[in-house]
Amino acid sequence: MTAPAKRRRTTTNKSEPCVSIEPTSIEDCIGSHRLAHNAAYHQFTSESDRQRVQKALLTWFDAKQRTNMPWRKPARLDMTKEELAQRAYEVWVSEIMLQQTQVATVIGYYERWMASFPTIYDLASADLEQVNTLWAGLGYYSRAKRLWEGAKKVVQELEGCLPNNAADLEKQIPGVGPYTAGAVASIVFGQQTPLVDGNVIRVLARLRAIRADMKKSNVVDLFWKLAGALVPKERPGDFNQALMELGATVCTPANPACDACPVQSDCHALNQWHLHGRLTEQGFWNKKTPQDESEHECEFCPAIDHDLEHEEYAVTRYPVKSEKKPPRDEECSVAIVEKVLKDGSSIYLISKRPEQGLLAGLWEFPSVELAIHKKKSIYAARSKQNAEYLKQRYQLDLADLDAACQDLDHVVHLFSHIRKVYYIEWVRITSTEQEPSLSQHDGHPSESKWIPEADLKTAPIPTGLKKALKLLDKAKSVKHSSAKRRQPTSKTTPSNTNASITSFFTKKETS
pLDDT at residue 217, as a whole number: 94
pTM: 0.80
Q: Stretch 368-397: mean pLDDT, rounded?
A: 89
Does residue 109 carry a pLDDT above 70?
yes
Rounded mean pLDDT of 466-483? Answer: 81
> Parallel, antiparallel, or unpaired: how do β-strands 363-364 and 346-352 relate?
antiparallel
**Most confident region among 27-31, 96-100, 259-263, 495-499 by mean pLDDT:** 259-263
Residue at 136: amino acid letter: A
For residue 43, count other CB atoms closer than 10 A to its CB.
Answer: 16
Q: Which of 16, 83, 95, 425 is catalytic?
A: 95
Separation of alpha carbons 435 and 499, rounded Å: 10
Q: What is the full DSSP assignment across 286-322?
A: GS--PPP-PPPB-SSSPPP-SPPPGGGG-GGG-S--P
Q: Give the model's pLDDT for residue 466.
A: 86
- Pick the more confident residue, 417 or 218: 218
Rounded to whole angstroms, how far apart are CA atoms 102 and 471? 26
Q: Could you give the 3-state DSSP secondary structure of residue 406?
A: strand
pLDDT for 366 equals 95
Mean pLDDT, rounded, of the chain:
86
pLDDT of 17 strictly over 90 = no
Domains parsed from the chain with CATH numbers = 330-505 (3.90.79.10)
What Rg value do the Cα atoms of the chain yield, rounded? 30
Question: In Å, how far are 49, 202, 243, 264, 356 from 59, measured between CA atoms?
Answer: 16, 20, 12, 14, 46
Amino acid sitting at position 147: L
pLDDT tens figures, 430-469: 987 665 566 555 544 458 889 998 888 788 888 888 899 9
Q: What confidence tier does 486 reach under pLDDT thresholds 50, 70, 90?
A: very low
Rounded-to-integer distance, Cα 52 and Cα 46, Å: 10
Helix axes 81-98, 178-187, angle to 10 degrees: 140
- CA–CA separation, 396 vs 384, rounded Å? 13
Tell me the C-alpha distance between 388 and 391, whole Å.
5
Contact 351, 448 (CB under 8 A): yes
pLDDT at 304: 92
Pairing of strands 418-430, 328-340: parallel
b/e code 193-224 from CB counts within 10 Å (16+ = b): bbbbbebbbbbbbbbbbbbbebeeeebbebbb
Q: Compute the distance between CA of residue 107 and CA of residue 69 in angstroms, rounded to an integer.
A: 7
CB-based contacts of 12: which residues, under 8 Å, 6+ apart?
19, 21
Give catalytic status of residue 447 as yes or no.
no
Tell me whether strands 402-414 and 328-340 are parallel, antiparallel or unpaired: unpaired
List, in sequence order, every residue forming a beta bridge with 340; answer none if it has no partner: 346, 430
Higher pLDDT, 163 or 501: 163
**Are the beta carbons of 169 and 185 closer than 8 angstroms?**
yes
At 219-261, the pLDDT tens digits run 999 999 999 999 999 999 999 999 999 999 999 999 999 999 9
Q: What is the mean pLDDT of residues 489-511?
A: 39
Average confidence (pLDDT) over 366-376: 83
Tens of pLDDT, residue by residue over 276-294, are 999 988 888 777 555 556 7
